[in-house]
Amino acid sequence: MNKTELTCIGCPMGCAVTVEMDGKGGITGVTGHTCKRGEDYARKEVTNPTRIVTSTVMVEGGALEMVSVKTKSDIPKGKMAECVDSLRGVCVKAPVHIGDVIAADIAGTGVDIVATKEVPALVP
Amino acid sequence: MLRLKYQEEKIMQKNYDLVIVGGGPAGLAAAEAARKNGIENMIILERDKELGGILNQCIHNGFGLHTFKEELTGPEYAQRFIDRVKELDIPYKLNTMVMDISEDKKVTIMNREEGLQVLQARAVVLAMGCRERPRGALNIPGGRPAGIYSAGTAQRLVNMEGFMPGREVVILGSGDIGLIMARRMTLEGAKVKVVAELMPYSGGLKRNIVQCLDDFGIPLKLSHTVIDIDGKDRVKGITLAQVDGRGKPIPGTEEYYSCDALLLSVGLIPENELSKEAGVELSAVTSGPVVNESLETNIPGVFACGNVLHVHDLVDFVSEEAAAAGKNAAKYILGNADTDSGEKVIPIIPTSGVRYTVPANIRVEKMEEQLKVRFRVGAVYSKCYVSVYLDEERIIHRKRPVMAPGEMEEILLKKEQLQEHEGLAQITVKIEEA
């Protein structure tokens, strides 16, 4: 049996969570978390770690030059760099609304990139 | 600052019940609470071109878990509050700089459309936020080349303006913004070589060390600082050295890192120039106003909340604190809280590891049924207790596995408990070893 010590990243509390595993990839116990989210994070982190990725893309004709974006749900940790790389050069037309899909199925993860900011069109 | 007394006759003066200085998370939440508690004639003043404050450049996620029970990015969190302010039809002015606040609550403002104006307020909520400690505050030897940025400036450049401040980066200071920028710049293709921290512990949240440094294999060197900056026109490199217990570099530990950018994430300072001019008493520890249970400063009717009061780690707590300030301001305006009716002021004394508390004092009659007292500790503590004493009587003794200066702590005081303690003279908050 081996133990993995983790710091939960589910929220800024940063709980210290311990995951006990049976050595064959099976989880035998999770302790130290203070909410359900913490347990879910710990289980996932030792099997298939994922992250939400945030970035920005350019806007054409908007009141702001850039719009912030995120992956609509978490993607595998190993796909983070590819995700941000494939957003390079992407430019969207204003207006942009929170939740608008900016790029579909990013880096083959099946997850969409959505806007996280309202950017009104520039009134000429 | 200019008080422009001789001109006041000519300047247009408007009357408001409540003027809120700052349209960031604190100002927005204070405005919402004040309106919901009956204040109609009010305005928010914002110097930037949009509401939302610093959240607009904090594009990372992790905001709002306490408030909305979901994980939002900074701009999304801000938008929720902006929407509420708009739904409640609360007026605001953008691109408007507050030039001065006087003790009698005359707020002098300026913008391009209306020029100079004076707003006479009955109550003021200070919600100006904070700013970063600059290089000048650090006494780093070496040249003055281009390429040295505060982490927040770099964040604004990358996230809002689309520029990369450098390709090979060293970060001094492990504050949260520095950690967030280590990840952000790595994802944008830069090589972040090292994060150096003067103290033997990180100034940032644990989760940020995990997901911003560990995830990308960026080393964090504790008890290290920059002792030299190399480069004439542009940074070419920096020298790091380990420091001893008193922060002095240890000879022989020097290491040279080539880089074209140095980011500084070395602390935040509440922005209180306006408060000072108004005669608001400031705390030497927080650099923010000294406030009572209503988050009211020494000037009756002037309230403070958010990072201008004390620097927070979590915007959720800023919103919560600001809502209390807005509600208290509304009470003050509507006369439910008669000013200074001679109630006893009970000081909260921070000691044995507790650096400060907000609020700093309490009028028991004026407090709500429960009052959150927030504080920070001065060092890393493990397996110890947070204790609260009413004079000699210990009323709270709560075990805390770990406490660090980078993470704000809170305790809850109950009005009933304070009232029951006869002849209460002072409240003490301290750390006790197990």
Mean per-residue pLDDT, B140-148: 89
Looking at chain A, which residue has its C-alpha nearest residue B184?
A: A55
* pLDDT, position B5: 54
Tens digit of each residue's pLDDT (9 = 90 or more) over B23-74 = 999 999 999 999 999 999 999 999 999 999 999 999 999 899 888 988 899 9
Chain A hits for B73, CB-CB cut-off 8 Å, are 54, 68, 70, 116
Tens digit of each residue's pLDDT (9 = 90 or more) over B108-128 = 999 999 999 999 999 999 999
Q: Which two tokens stand for residue B285?
A: 């520890």
- Of the candidates B73, B211, B402, which has its C-beta nearest A70's C-beta? B73
Inter-CA distances, B365 with A111, B24, B374, Å:
54, 31, 20
Tens digit of each residue's pLDDT (9 = 90 or more) over B377-432 = 998 888 899 999 999 999 999 998 888 888 899 999 999 999 999 999 999 999 99
* pLDDT, position B1: 46
Q: Is A11 on the interface with B (CB under 8 A)?
A: yes
* Longest Cα separation, chain B: 67
pTM of the prediction? 0.92
Between CA A36 and CA B279 the distance in angstroms is 48
Between CA B312 and CA B304 the distance in angstroms is 13
Tens digit of each residue's pLDDT (9 = 90 or more) over A36-93 = 888 998 998 888 899 999 999 999 999 999 999 999 999 999 999 999 999 999 999 9
Q: Is A61 on the interface with B (CB under 8 A)?
A: no
Q: Contact A84/B188, CB-based, under 8 Å? A: yes
Q: Contact B187/A55, CB-based, under 8 Å? A: yes
Asked if residue B73 lies in contact with residue B58, where contact means CB atoms within 8 angstroms, the answer is: yes
Question: What's the gap in Å between the CA of A113 and the closest CA on chain B?
Answer: 13
Q: Which two tokens stand for residue B352?
A: 């044995």
Q: Contact B65/A16, CB-based, under 8 Å? A: no
Tens digit of each residue's pLDDT (9 = 90 or more) over B218-259 = 999 999 999 999 999 999 999 999 999 898 999 999 999 999
Q: Contact A10/B65, CB-based, under 8 Å? A: yes
B308 pLDDT band (50/70/90 cuts)?
Answer: very high
Q: Is residue B359 reached through a cis peptide bond, with omega within 30 degrees of 0 on the bond before it?
A: yes
Inter-CA distances, B289 with A110, B295, B341, B376, Å:
50, 9, 22, 16
Mean per-residue pLDDT, B184-213: 92
Q: Residue B357 corresponds to which amino acid?
A: T
ipTM over the 0.90 cut-off: no
Find which of B186, B188, B213 to mutate to test the A interface (most A CBs within 10 Å of its CB). Answer: B188
Q: Give chain B's mean pLDDT.
A: 93
Q: Is A4 on the interface with B (CB under 8 A)?
A: no
Mean per-residue pLDDT, A26-41: 88
Chain B hits for A51, CB-CB cut-off 8 Å, are 211, 215
Mean per-residue pLDDT, B151-159: 96
**B115-126 and B106-111 strand pairing:** antiparallel
Between CA B285 and CA A44 the distance in angstroms is 41
Q: Contact A84/B187, CB-based, under 8 Å? A: yes
Question: What's the gap in Å between the CA of B393 and the closest CA on chain A?
Answer: 30
- Of the candidates B66, B73, B206, which has its C-beta nearest A116's C-beta? B73
Question: What's the gap in Å between the CA of B229 and the closest CA on chain A?
Answer: 30
